[in-house]
Structure 1
Amino acid sequence: MSSCEKCKSGFNWNGTPNGSESKIAGSKAYVTGDNKDAAVMIIHDIFGWTFPNLRLLADHFAKEANVTVYLPDFFDGEVIPPETLTNPAKREKFSVPDFIGRHGKDTRFPEILEVAKALKAKYKKTAAIGYCWGAWACFRLGADPSLVDAISMAHPSLVEQTEIDNVKVPVQILAPEHDQMFTPELKEYANKVIPTIGVPYEYVYFPGLTHGFAAKGDQNDPKQKDGLERAKNSAVSYFKEFLHSS
């Protein structure tokens, strides 16, 4: 992610989250919704669990897909101020490689795994959706059907081919046309390999859009607004299909 300017830039959305803060498996979490049978874990991007845009998405998922949504903190309390998105000086000071070095896969996946186990013990069906940084963790969870029933991800980062190879649950990928993190080679690999694994697979393509659109797109730009809303609606439909079917 060393050259990913899109990872730390974007737009803050209008709206006020209406959930509450709690804990799950020792991790702080934003929680919204009241379904007792179905839950979704959002695995955040580098802006973390307090990022208002992701909390707003959590509220939409809870209401529109009828699920309880958890947005846990997987950065051990480290928070990037949301204004970094729109402040060039703050973006310049923020080092994505250094940040990822503090929050690598080996460091953070054990926490993600514990939350997934806790949710699976509490709910009949669970899913995970990851944005940017969080996508690789969804693939890793998806290697074990006892952890999640389905996984989704938008503009994935840090995904390795072996993580794609090992998936064993339904997969949804929300993929913009231009994405330096989920490269054309990785897109091609996913679209070649996942259909051979024998799991339901949905690849949703967003022409003209770029990395980060689903979590940080410009609501005042018609094309981006349409894309981020279509991404949200696609995830809602996906959760309905795999968390509420008998």
Structure 2
Amino acid sequence: MSSCCVTGFNWDGKPSGKEEKIAGLNTYVAGSNSDVAILMIHDVFGWTFTNLRLLADHFAKEVNATVYLPDFFGGEVIEPAMLSDPAKRGQFDLMAFIGRNTKEIRYPEIEKTARELKESKGYKKIGTIGYCYGGWAVFQLGAKGKGLVDCISTPHPSLLTKEEIDAVGVPVQILAPEHDPQYTAELKEHSLKVIPTLGVDFDYQYFPGIAHGFAAKGDKNDPKQKAALERAKNSAVAWFSQYLHLNA
């Protein structure tokens, strides 16, 4: 991961959901549909990040789903003030943070949460969306043969590998900015070459002139970024609405 993962803008607004526990983890929950769930996997700013909670509220209302945003960083929180404070960003050791939150450490928690949604809470349809850090995880949840989720979506994924792309077995949506040191041109090309051969529905959307992080931390005061983040939100809403509702 790189410095683009800790840059961006905070959004104004007050989330309207609640906090509870799922799979033993603190979780922000929005919505009340007992049949349809969306598991959000956060970026480096974690489960308390207002921007992601506001997105969860949108998905809950616009998709008609219950949205779960759990804490997959073991209680560690990066203050959103870092987004507007270069000095704080300079003091933050991103690689050490990622070392505390490797795939090997966090994926078991992520899979356990998805299983609890499916098996204990009994949701009939489950989708998952991962922002930045969460991008690799949705591909693992959607791997062939797992049967955990019905579709996945990821804006500007980080830490994603070709092997994870090759293994996907459910409908997949990728929201890809032009400028992205994490979801590189090579990974974009690989996705476009391989996923259409896997027998799954595939929605690839390209955002010219837009940079990594836009869908969760874009500048709403910049017309181009605002249009891009709104397009990303609306695209995810349409994707989940198509694949998660029981008459789909």
State the TM-score, normalized to the length of structure 1.
Answer: 0.98
Deviation at 1:54, TM superposition (A): 0.2
**RMSD (CA atoms):** 0.7
Q: Distance in 2 between matches of 1:145 and 1:61?
A: 24
Corresponding position of 2:232: 231
Query: 1:48 matched to which residue of 2?
Result: 46
Q: How far off is 1:245 after superposition? A: 4.5
Match of 1:5 among 3, 14, 18: 3
Q: 1:57 maps to what in 2?
A: 55
Residue 219 of structure 2 corresponds to 218
How do residues 69-88 of structure 1 correspond to structure 2 at under 5 angstroms? Answer: 69-88=67-86
Q: CA deviation digits over 1:155-179, x for unaligned, max 9?
A: 0100011101110000000100110
Separation of aligned partners in 1, 2:146 and 2:154 = 17
| Residue 116 (structure 1) aligns with | 114
Amino acid of the structure 2 residue aligned with 1:137: A
1:28 match? 26
User: Structure 2: which amino acid aligns with 1:124?
Assistant: K
- Give, in whole Å, the separation in 2 of the partners of 1:5 and 1:110: 26
Q: TM-score, normalised by structure 2?
A: 0.97
- Deviations along 1:109-139, one digit per CA (max 9) or x if unpaired, are 0000000001112200001100000010000
The separation in 2 between residues aligned to 1:150 and 1:95, in whole angstroms, is 33
The CA distance in 1 between the partners of 2:190 and 2:175, in whole Å, is 15
CA displacement at 1:145 relative to structure 2? 4.7
TM-fit CA distance, 1:6? 1.2
- Deviations 1:54-101, CA, capped at 9 Å, x for gaps: 000000000011000000000000000010111011100011111100
Q: How does 1:118-197 map to 2 (within 5 A)?
A: 118-121=116-119, 122-143=122-143, 144-197=145-198
Specify the code of the residue in structure 2 equivalent to 1:138: V
Confirm whether residue 206 of structure 1 aligns to residue 207 of structure 2.
Answer: yes
Matching residue's letter, 1:175: A
More displaced 10-residue stretch of structure 1: 139-148 or 208-217: 139-148
Query: Residue 59 of structure 1: SS of its match in structure 2?
Result: helix
- Structure 2: segments with no counterpart, 5+ residues: none
- Of all paired residues, the percent bearing the same amino acid is 63
- AA of the residue aligned to 2:36: A
Equivalent position SS for 1:240 = helix
2: CA distance between counterparts of 1:233 and 1:145?
28
Partners in 2 of 1:66 and 1:207 — Cα distance?
Answer: 30
Structure 1: how far apart are the matches of 2:135 and 2:8?
Answer: 18
Structure 1: state its 5+ residue gaps. Answer: none
Contact persistence 2:125–2:246 (CA under 8 A): no
